[in-house]
């Protein structure tokens, strides 16, 4: 009932926003992992060059 009490255009917009937020959170998680890996690699190679 709660879901369909909202007019269809608003419901579709909300679903679209939810999908975009989900996509952006996944991308943020991936980019954070990549950043952490690069930080560790930089520290490793800095230690090796000494």
pLDDT at residue number 25 = 98
What pLDDT, on the 0 to 100 scale, is given for residue 2?
66
Quickly list DSSP for 4-50. Answer: TTS-HHHHHHHHHHHHHHHHHHHHHHHHHHHHHHHHHHHHHHHHHT-
pTM score over 0.95: no
- For the chain, report the end-to-end CA distance as a whole number of angstroms: 66
**26: its two tokens:** 């996944």
Query: Does 3 score more than 70 pLDDT?
Result: no
Calpha distance 44→31 (Å, rounded): 20
Is residue 26 scored above 90 in pLDDT? yes
């Amino acid at each position: 009932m709660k879901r369909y009490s909202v007019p269809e255009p608003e419901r579709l917009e909300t679903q679209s926003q939810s999908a975009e937020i989900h996509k952006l959170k996944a991308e943020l998680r991936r980019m954070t992992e990549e950043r952490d890996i690069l930080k560790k690699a930089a520290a490793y190679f800095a230690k090796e060059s000494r």
